[in-house]
Structure 1
Amino acid sequence: SICRSVLLSVCRSVLHSLKCYSCENTASGCNHTCSSEDICSKDTTKTWFTQTGIEDGLKSWGCIPNEYCFGHVLLQTKLKVGITKRECCQTELCNKGVITVVIPDKKNGLRCWSCDNDNGENCAEPTITIDCVDIGTRCFTLYSNSTGIEQFMRGCASPSYCSIDPEIGTDFTCCGKDLCNASQNVRATIGTVWLAVLSLWLF
């Protein structure tokens, strides 16, 4: 019957829900029950501002859809190096503990054009190059006005960053050769998953 079907559906949802730690910058004294399609996660994000040497960081624990479990990503421009490590799990309160993140400085041999119009510069004609570090083995180019504010960036990215949710925001372009990100014709619409990761350290 319809009533029995609804009851079974509710029971399945309860049986498959997870309880996860859910908070920012402390994993003690807070928990949250995820919906049936979510998993537990924990992540640490660090940003190093290259001009000032200042580091900023954020630790968080929570419940996320499985497709948000992107692992280890890096994004680098001439102004910032940002790195996020995320781990996911599917048992009760499994996301305890802290992930350690160290800002990398070892060059990997790739060079990319870099600019960031947060600094008021014209990114359509890049003039500065940077040496990519660590897992940033791709050059990227981004143009977006999806939030109503025009944004244009170039720099280095990890392959994992370039592959986040390829069905959304696929016009965010990556390439793997020296100075390959000089194209002036990029127009991108940032997808929900991609923007969530970007906002962890750029804004």
Structure 2
Amino acid sequence: MKLILSLTLLWALSSTAGALQCQTCINQNCSSTVPQPCSSETACIAASIQANVSGFSTQQIFKACAPSSLCPALGPQTFSGNVGFANALVYANCCNTDNCNMNIIPIPVAQTNNSLKCYTCDLFTSNCNSSIQCKGVENSCIQATLTTLSSTFLAFGCASTNLCAAASLGNLTSIESVNATGVSCCGTSLCNTVKTNTTSVPTTAAPTTSEAGCRIRLGMIHLLLGLLVFTLC
């Protein structure tokens, strides 16, 4: 019995000894971090997020282990998305040595307009006939359906290529009570049009302002960076 217990302990120690270790936030503003062994992740990430949802602005710092779908290459990258009622810009850096994500990434600055325009949808009517001007690295038009526990709404707008790649790889499917389906991207102006035979997305009774804000914030963060398992509610 002692031999079995000893072997079990040695196996447990050896299985974590070779794992990558990354700094992980232990509070919402990430002012404190702890080293944490990664499970199957192959990179560490440090990110700064600037988001605006229906006039509600917030900044967030994030550090954690990152899957290859979020960090397909090492070094800095920028995620950006705008679905009309919400937009977010993320500066991130990926690395693959122990605790390499200790440094703080600067909060993103405003981007300038580029030449791309994309359709966007009204949150409550699912009318997708208006357009928005894309900015900075947003070089694709994105469309998706976001579902919470009690409502479903369309999210059309602008996105960076790496955001589209993360979405298509299924990296945005597991944040609490929010699900993104039908995510697709295209690269020409106004290419994310709703097909004429598409039926309206069913919705429940319009939520209150505070309920809508909470759900939108969850959905937008979910859509933009699925690794960031936190809420602003």
TM-score by length of 1: 0.74
Q: Shift in Å at residue 141 of structure 1?
A: 1.4
Q: Is the 8 A contact 1:73 1:83 kept in 2?
A: yes
Distance 1:115 1:62 in 2: 33
- Which residue of 77, 87, 91 maps to 2:83? 77
The answer for the alignment partner of 1:191 in structure 2 is none
Deviations 1:107-151 (A, max 9, x none): 11111111241xx2x22x423211100011111111243755312
Q: Shift in Å at residue 78 of structure 1?
A: 2.1
- Which consecutive unaligned segments of at least 5 residues does structure 1 have? 188-193
Q: Is 1:197 paired with 2:218?
A: no
Distance 1:64 1:20 in 2: 9
Alignment of 1:68-147 (within 5 A): 68-69=70-71, 71-117=77-123, 120=124, 122-123=125-126, 125-145=127-147, 147=149
2:16 aligned counterpart, secondary structure: helix
- 1:198 and 1:114, CA in 2 relative to 1: closer, same or farther beyond 3 A? farther
Aligned-CA RMSD value: 3.5
Distance 1:166 1:141 in 2: 11
Q: Is the 8 A contact 1:27 1:97 kept in 2?
A: no
1:31 aligned counterpart, secondary structure: strand
- Which residue of 30, 38, 48 maps to 1:44? 48
Q: Which amino acid counterpart does residue 111 of structure 1 have in structure 2? A: K
Q: Is the 8 A contact 1:113 1:154 kept in 2?
A: yes
The answer for the alignment partner of 2:211 in structure 1 is none
The answer for the alignment partner of 1:153 in structure 2 is 155
Distance 2:105 2:141 in 1: 27
Distance 2:79 2:199 in 1: 22
Q: Shift in Å at residue 156 of structure 1?
A: 0.5
Q: Shift in Å at residue 19 of structure 1?
A: 3.5
Distance 2:183 2:199 in 1: 8
Q: Is 1:183 paired with 2:189?
A: no
Paired-residue identity, %: 22
- 1:66 and 1:9, CA in 2 relative to 1: closer, same or farther beyond 3 A? farther
- 1:34 and 1:172, CA in 2 relative to 1: closer, same or farther beyond 3 A? same
- 1:69 and 1:167, CA in 2 relative to 1: closer, same or farther beyond 3 A? closer
